[in-house]
Each structure stands twice: as C-alpha cells, then as structure tokens.
A and B are shown apart, each in its own frame.
Chain A
Amino acid sequence: MVNGAAVRVQGLWKRFGQQVAVAGVDLELPAGKFVGLVGPNGAGKTTTLSMVTGLLRPDQGTVEVVGHDVWRDPVEVKARIGVLPEGLRLFERLSGRELLGYSGRLRGLPGAEVDKRAAQLLDVLDLAGAQHKLVVDYSTGMRKKIGLAAALLHNPEVLFLDEPFEGVDPVSAQIIRGVLERYTASGATVVFSSHVMELVESLCDWVAVMAAGRIRAHGPLAEVRGDSPSLQHAFLELVGAGGRDHGSHLDWLGGGAR
C-alpha cells in the first residue's frame, strides 16, 4: 500500500443544528506517511476523523480508506484501521491487560496471539507495572498509551489518532513517538490531529491545515511551510490570526502588585 492514497475524502459535510462543523472537505492522504491534521480548537478535526473512521455519519460526501468505502464496505475497512478517538471513554472498569485482551478478541484474533501482543505492547509502552490496575485509575498519559496499544493490537494498515499527545507528559510522549515512528517505518500510515505545531513539524512528513471546517492547505511539510520560519508562522498566516496585538490594553500588567 505504499503507492496511492491511504485515505481519500470527497465533499465531506457535517452540520450540527445551525453550526457547520465540516464544510466540504476534499483530501487525499498519502500511504506510508506520518500525516498531521492541524488546526485550532473547533476547526473540525475531531468531526472529520470521526467521519473518516466510521464513528460519525456524514451529511454528505464519501470516504475511502485503502481503497474501500467506509460506509459501504465496513468489513474491509474496520479490519484495516486502528483508532484512538478523543473525548470517548474506554471500557474503564477493565484493567489495562483485560482491555487489550477484550479488544483483540473482539477483533477475532486468536487468544494466545492477543495475549502475546498485549504483553509486548504493555512492555514497550511502559505500562507493564500498571497492567492489573483498572483503566479508570490511570492518568491521562497512561490512558492515551493503553488506547494506542488497543489501536495497534491488530496491526492495522492505517492508524487514526485524535490528539494523541494532549495532556501527555514528556516521557510518555517520547514513548508514543518511538512506537509510532517504528510503525510508519514499516510502511504503515499514521494520521493524527493536533494543535501543537512544533510537534507536528517535528513528526510529520505531510500535513493538512484545517480551520473553520475547511482544509486551508495540504501537502508535504516543506511545501506547506513555504518561506515561513516555522509551521507555526505559516499556520497563523493561513488562518489569518497573525499580527494581532493587544499589548497596549494591558499596560497595568506586571511590574509589581497593585
């Protein structure tokens, strides 16, 4: 699957009542790349990823993952993707180990294989010490890591991660990074969303910039960054937030109390 697109999105729309969350997204994400979907809060990243992974029904538009339509051919798609959603729970009353066992067996993997993979993932993600603790007692970083383990367990071709580094401590973030880099090196695709530009810049080969429900720019990192000194600058210019200055209104702030 190194050639062609991992994900192909056409004319994707989603409205919630009066509010348009995603306003006509067309996008082709290359296979075998580390793809970043960046944008400010409320840009429609989570909504887009939910529709791409089949967790949310779009109002209009089509989504194809590795050549199969997400809505018409779920058998082919669901076996090939791994998902780490944002804002949805896990089965938190299971221990980390039980959660992986549950998730892997639901996907139809043989029990012995699931247990072997789970043990290795728990080890690599530094969760072995907490594997018998209930997920409800995990910290944010631990939850992201166990969610990532559950998403990787069936060795998917495309991995969708919604804000995988949000609220994660630097040590866990480094571990997650290591696992993802190893995974993409084998030819798999990672699509992840974030609003932390430095992170996206250091991780991704390919980015799509999203704002107000639309794709503002997409392509290889260097192309999107253009002449700007950093992705952050390029991004602020793209979404039209550069050069805002409120300095003079807060002239009392700083320089001692009262």
Chain B
Amino acid sequence: MSTAESLTPVVVRLKLSLLRNGLRQSAGRRAAYISSVVVVLLLAALQFLGLVALHGSEHAASVTVILLAVMALGWAVMPLFFPSGDETLDPTRLVMLPLRPRPLVRALLVASLVGIGPLFTLSLLVGSVIAVARGAVAAVVSLVAVPLALLVCVALARAVAAANIRLLSSRKGRDLAVLSGLVIAIGAQVVNFGAQQLGSAGLGQLDPAAEVLAWVPPSSVIGAVDAASEGSYGVAVARLAVSAGALALLLGAWSRTLTQLMTSPDGSTLQAAEPSGTREHGSGGLGRLLPGGRTGTVMERSLRYAWRDPKTKAAWVTSLAIGLIVPVFNALQGTGSIYFACFAAGMLGIQMYNQFGQDTSAFWMVAMTISSTRDAYVELRGRALALLLISLPYATLVVVLTTALLDDWATFPEALGLSLALLGAMLAAGAWSSARFPYSIPQEGYKNVAHGQAGLATFSIFGGMIGAALLCAPVIALTIWLNVDSGGDRWTWLLLPIGASYGTLLTLLGLRLAAPRTAARLPEILAAVSRA
C-alpha cells in the first residue's frame, strides 16, 4: 500500500470528521448548519426546476452561461472571505507531514467535492444542461461538461485559497485583505446598477455578454452543450477544450503554490530582514503646514493614519464614496433632493466615532501623555481638526455639486448651513461617544468590531447618530419653518451663517464634555480598545 493511493480517502475522511466535530461543538451551530443545508437544498431544487422550465426558451443559453459565470466567481471569492471555513483548505496544516504534491493535490481536490457548495453547483450544472441540451450529441457532451465544470470551480477555489495564504503571509497582502470589504461594497453598487438596467431593458441585454462568456471557462462547457445542440460540433469541442485547459492550468498553479507554501518560510520573516528603502515622501511637508504643539502632532498622526492604516483608510474611502454617490447619483437620476447633500457631512462625521478604538492598544502612548482635562481636550480637538481638514471642503464640494446638478442655487445656503450644523453635531456626538463607549477594532480581516462588543459598537454609532440628529433639530426646525412660512423665503440665506455657527458651537461643547470623561477614564478606555 503506497501513500499515494491511500491519501485520498484519508483526506476525505478528515474532512468529514472535521465537519462532524464542528457540528458536535454546540447545538446552535448544529441548528445553523442544518437550517442552512435545508435552505440551500430548497434553493437548489427551486433553481433546478426553474432551469428545467427554461428548456426551449430562446434565452436559455444566455441565462445559464451567465449563471455559471456568477457561480464560478462565487467559488473564486468565497475562500477569500471564509478562509477558515474549510480547514482542509489550509495546506499549511499539513506542512509537517511527508506528502508529495501530486497525490496531495488529488486528495485535496476530491475532498473539496464533499459539501453543500459542490452539491448546489452540481444541481445548477445539471439544471443548466437540461435547459440547454437538445439531441443525443448534446446529451453526450453534457456528460463530460458537468463534471468538468464542477472540477474547474473547485480547483479555482483551491488555487485562489492557496494563493491567498501566500498573500496573507506578507504585510502588504494583509493590508489588501482589509480593503476587500470595500470591493464588496462597491461591487454591490455595480450589481445594483446592472440589475436596474436589466430590469428596464429585458433579458435580451444578456446576449452579448453571454456570447463572450460562452468561451470563458467554466461557462464554456454550457456553451459547448449549446453548440452541440445546434450542430456546431467543432465549436462544442473547442469550448470543452478551453475549460479542460483551464482546469489543467489551475491545477498546475495550485500545485506550484502548494509546493512553495510547504517548502519556503513565510513572507513575514523575510520582509523584516530586507534592507530598508527610503520612505520619506508624501507627508514630508505636512508637519510644517500644521499648527505646533500637541494639536499639530495629533493632526499629523491622524492624517497619516487615514492614508497608511488599511482599516482607517477603508473607513475613509467608504465615507467619501457613499457621501458623494448618494446625493450625486440621486440628483443625476432626477429623484434627488438638495438636502441629500447632507449625507456627505453625516458620513464623514462618522469618522469621529470611536476615535480611540481606531488607535488600537497603541492608545497607551496617548494615555501616558494625558494627565489633565486640558490635555484630553487638545487631543480630541486635534483629531476633530484633522477630520475637518478633509470633511469641511469635501462636504461643501458635495453640496455645490448637488446644487449644480439640480440647478437650485436658491436653496444652496440652507443646504450648506444644514450640512455644517450636521457635521458639527456628528463631531460633538462622536467625541463624546469616543470617550464614553470605546470599543476595539480588529486589525485583521474584514470585521470592524471585536467579539462581544457588537452591541456596544451599534449603540455607540446609532445612538450617536440619533443624538446628532436631535442636536441638529433646532436648525432643521428653523429650515422647515422658513420654507413653510409665506415670507420665510427671503430669510433662508440666514441658515448658512446660523448653521455654521451652530455646528461650531456644538463641536466645541462636545469636545468640552468629552475631555473630562476621557481624562478620567484612560485605563477603562485602554482596556476597551485593547481587546482585539
């Protein structure tokens, strides 16, 4: 009995026992797993029936080709977000065992065919070929197509997972992984837009995309079945060959990464040993432009972090993007109101929340230098100023843009005034809740809240947002009154200076209230932000 022959069943059994042991741990987990299996099976059945019903439709090939492409995309993306979902996916756990790459690749590939994901994919594939295939030749092609596509999907997931592990072992790669949440958020916007387009233009929109995807593995197997149904056997064989070639390439790439992973040290140690490069660009002149003393020091650090720290950067980019997209896109579609421009101020104001959580446990360096309420005040004010340096021009720009798109310059002063009042209220509430409800932000992965602090984080952000809205209420009420009152229109310009001064006042008050709490609770804040 050689190792090569016995490895595959061993790994499959390993996967099954891992699954079983995972379920044995808790009843909740078991219930969650069983219910997700039931849901997936139901979905698979529904989708299967739907696809079978599609048989004979003129768009059947387009729909199935695109469905499979989306499915393959899912297989490629899944391991990035759930790297620990499947422990047999992590070959570094097997690193100490004397295994050769070839049998290992085979064993891991077979093992990854076990599970609900592959089952779901199989039902999609079988449904798709039933929808598309007509005639005996197409049926024969289908027999090759289904297992081939399934293997491509699984190999894709494994290759991506292995490459991901290599990526995650370097700092740059880990930084990138943190930004992945952003990709999802922006991707969701794109999908949303695409779906809207499709809804208005019909399934015929899909045809050109499907035309291309019919040559892209693994969707090309459906293309092959379709071609066989139409009698173009040459095209069918070529499309199958494309997928088979892709499978070979994926397996090759995976096997190479696997070998490298198991034989070379991880990247983190190598990097530290490298000679240093020069790295003094970008922020060199920043310090000279900022005020001196603690204020400038704090601002400079905050701004550097907004650029260099992946978590902070992701939060900033999200705020900037959504703060712009919501009012401007709405204005573009003609459904917008100028008051949507306040979104930018609101989104950017969120950055003031949980200031100390953003420091992580490095907050001790700040805590060691705060010995009075005055120190705490200057610290918080510096952070607010750094934030204002970006958010003030940006919020103004968004209001200007929205106004220009709607061509409603008469309302401009009040929209800007409201924005500024809201920004001030967010900064005030943010400073206060930073001192009162700090929580940890894990530095790795996509999560933004440490285990067990989700309630605290939700309370801090949503409570703070409601608080900010309440703080803004006088300005909002005044705006409504001036708009409703018959003679009020002449005075709406007043809302700009009123909103600006009110916002400034709120911020100063918020900082004054937050400072003594911060100074008095330094050890408690440090404990709260050091949990991740």
Contact = CB atoms under 8 A, between A and B. Distances in A.
B297 A56 contact: no
B171 A139 contact: no
B371 A106 contact: no
A55 B526 contact: yes
B362 A88 contact: yes
A54 B520 CA distance: 11
A79 B371 contact: yes
Interface string A53-92: 1111100000000000000001101110001010111111
B522 interface: yes
B276 A132 contact: yes
Contact of B278 (A57, A88, A91, A132): A132
Contact of A106 (B294, B308, B359, B522): B294
A93 B308 contact: yes
A78 B369 CA distance: 7
Interface in B239-291: 271-273, 275-280
B365 A130 contact: no
A117 interface: no
Contact of A91 (B277, B280, B365, B527): B365
Interface residues of B, number: 41
B524 interface: yes
Contacts of A74: 371-372
A216 interface: no
A34 to B, nearest CB: 22
B367 interface: yes
Contact of B276 (A56, A93, A111, A129): A129
A75 B280 contact: no
Contacts of A77: 371
Given A56-B523, A79-B371, A106-B294, A91 B272 contact: no
A88 B372 CA distance: 23
A102 B305 CA distance: 13
B107 to A, nearest CB: 26
A95 B527 CA distance: 25
Nearest to B519: A74
B293 interface: yes
A74 B461 CA distance: 31
A85 to B, nearest CB: 6
Interface in B352-410: 359-362, 364-372
B364 A137 contact: no
Interface string B510-532: 00000000000011101100100
A87 B298 CA distance: 23
Contacts of B28: none
Interface in B160-212: 171
A142 B271 CA distance: 13
Contacts of A130: 276
Contacts of B530: 88
Contacts of A89: 360-362
A107 B279 contact: no
A203 to B, nearest CB: 24
Contacts of B523: 54-57
Nearest to A132: B279
B304 interface: yes
Contact of B362 (A53, A92, A105): A92
A134 interface: yes
Nearest to A133: B276
B369 A93 contact: no
Given A107-B369, A138-B272, A54 B522 contact: yes
A184 interface: no
Contacts of B308: 93, 134
B90 interface: no
A133 B279 contact: yes
A108 B294 contact: yes
Nearest to A75: B371
B272 A139 contact: yes
Given A91-B359, A136-B171, A55 B279 contact: no
Interface in B475-532: 522-524, 526-527, 530
B24 interface: no
A95 B304 CA distance: 11
A155 interface: no
Contact of A88 (B275, B277, B296, B361): B361
A72 to B, nearest CB: 11
Contacts of A93: 304-305, 308-309
Contact of B171 (A79, A83, A94, A137): A137
Nearest to B379: A106
B20 interface: no
Contact of B366 (A56, A75, A85, A106): A106
A110 B370 CA distance: 17
B367 to A, nearest CB: 6
Given A132-B276, A133-B279, A150 B371 contact: no
**Which residue, B277, B296, B364, has most C-beta atoms of chain A within 10 A?**
B364
B292 interface: yes
29 contacts: A54-B368, A55-B526, A56-B526, A57-B523, A74-B371, A75-B372, A78-B369, A83-B364, A85-B364, A88-B364, A88-B530, A89-B361, A91-B301, A91-B359, A91-B365, A94-B304, A98-B304, A102-B300, A103-B369, A106-B369, A129-B276, A132-B278, A132-B279, A133-B279, A136-B171, A137-B171, A138-B272, A139-B273, A142-B272
Given A85-B364, A94-B304, A105-B297, 9 more contacts: A78-B370, A88-B530, A93-B305, A95-B280, A98-B304, A106-B369, A107-B369, A132-B279, A139-B272
